[in-house]
Structure 1
């Protein structure tokens, strides 16, 4: 196992809480109706294309053309996005900030729409603490595609074999490993600290 010289954090569900149900439990109170809406209209596959760089205007129009009766709630997805990200995981943020304070090289690699990431940076100043961030919506690639890992390594001068990636998605962890990185699946701050210690990064 190579010595770790670079630490790369995902953001959503690692540093920031994300849950579309938060505003939509109010907008569509019936649980079955709400689940149908997410399974058939504002789906994960639809939303991930905004992370790849598609504009919200284009994304909304695509769905409104197909589901005109749901136009208001289609627009509500972006309109109420801020409610979907209500708080940071303070214990995870503490781990990241301590690593930075201890002199480790920390960057972030995230699937995030460009405009909502700008909004998140305004709301959560700790997102400016790492050396830099690769935002999928700004470069037109998403995890777990190989290209986004290679792009991040090149952009920030990382040696892949000396890089550890922290992500809550097993697919994204596997994508990092396929790109030659070390990687761990995020569960909570305590297990993250244990994983880092296992890779020789002491508390």
Structure 2
């Protein structure tokens, strides 16, 4: 019995065309998804802010301080100022609710600069390294429009963003509302898939992932340079 071989040139041609087409598509997709932009949250990432830095000395009583910060001047109240409510309005609203705490509530924003203890030096060092690369740097922060200028004036590394910062208090939007990421994307003509978003708030990270960003959930012990390198960010 003779084995008959059938040569199908067109089938082979189609196979080669499909392989080349798939290879080109994969290369183009990889190229389009290369990281071009790195977006930083500020509080807990580049800046160490905590109301306890002021109130620990003010109260000289940790139990009383924690009660005040958890029940009177709680995060839910402060975040409304980050959303765009004025400091004066927020203070008066809370004084009406808790008149016995008027003195402490007025002290909150009067002493806000004391709460902004310092930059987070090891992460700022990474930012400075990135500023010497071709990556574009952006800020996306939940921060009161009234207090943010103090940080700009007192910490020179903010200049590295060249004004490309979206502030919640100015936009009247706050993370994790997806609209504030859309403000950033549309204003600077960015693609989420080409961008890394860095934040210390897990809810914000989850939303950014949903929107298509690469993300780094940063903790105090996180080696930011190493985490960026894992995503393909090059520092040279």
TM interval, short-chain normalised: over 0.9
Cα distance between partner residues in 2 of 1:156 and 1:106: 11
* Post-superposition CA distance 1:134-154 (Å, at most 9, x none): 000000111111101111111
Give the structure 2 partner of residue 169 of structure 1.
201
Q: What are the ranges of 5 or more consecutive residues in structure 1 without an aligned counterpart?
A: none
- Is it true that 1:67 corresponds to 2:98 in the alignment? yes
Contact 1:107–1:130 (CA under 8 A) maintained in structure 2: yes
Q: 190-199 or 55-64: which moved more?
A: 190-199
- Tell me what 1:111 maps to: 142
Tell me, in whole angstroms, the C-alpha distance in 1 between the residues paired with 2:199 and 2:83: 18
Q: 1:189: how far off?
A: 7.6
Structure 1 runs (4+) deviating above 6 angstroms are none
Q: In 1, are the aligned partners of 2:35 and 2:196 still within 8 Å (CA)? A: yes
What residue is the counterpart of 2:88 in the other structure?
57
**Aligned residue in 1 for 2:12:** none
Cα deviation code 1:38-72 (max 9, x no counterpart)? 11110100000000000011101111111111111
**Normalization by structure 2: what TM-score?**
0.83
Q: What is the RMSD computed on CA atoms of the aligned residues?
A: 1.3
Match of 1:25 in 2: 56
Residue-pair matches, total: 203
CA shift at 1:91, angstroms? 1.5
CA distance in 2, matches of 1:44, 1:96: 28
Q: Among residues 97, 100, 118, which one is paired with 1:87 in the alignment? A: 118
2:9 maps to none
Q: Secondary structure at the match of 1:164?
A: strand
TM-score norm. by structure 1 comes to: 0.96
Structure whose CA Rg is larger: 2
Cα distance in 2 between the residues matched to 1:169 and 1:69: 32
**Residues 189 and 163 of structure 1, relative CA distance in 2, 3 Å threshold:** farther
**Which structure is richer in relative contact order (CA contacts within 8 A, separation 6 or more)?**
1
Does 1:178 find its partner at 2:210?
A: yes
Q: CA deviation at 1:191?
A: 2.0
Tell me the distance in 2 between the aligned counterparts of 1:68 and 1:113. Answer: 24
The 10-residue stretch of structure 1 (159-168 or 184-193) with the greater mean CA deviation from structure 2:
184-193
Paired position in structure 2 for 1:15: 46
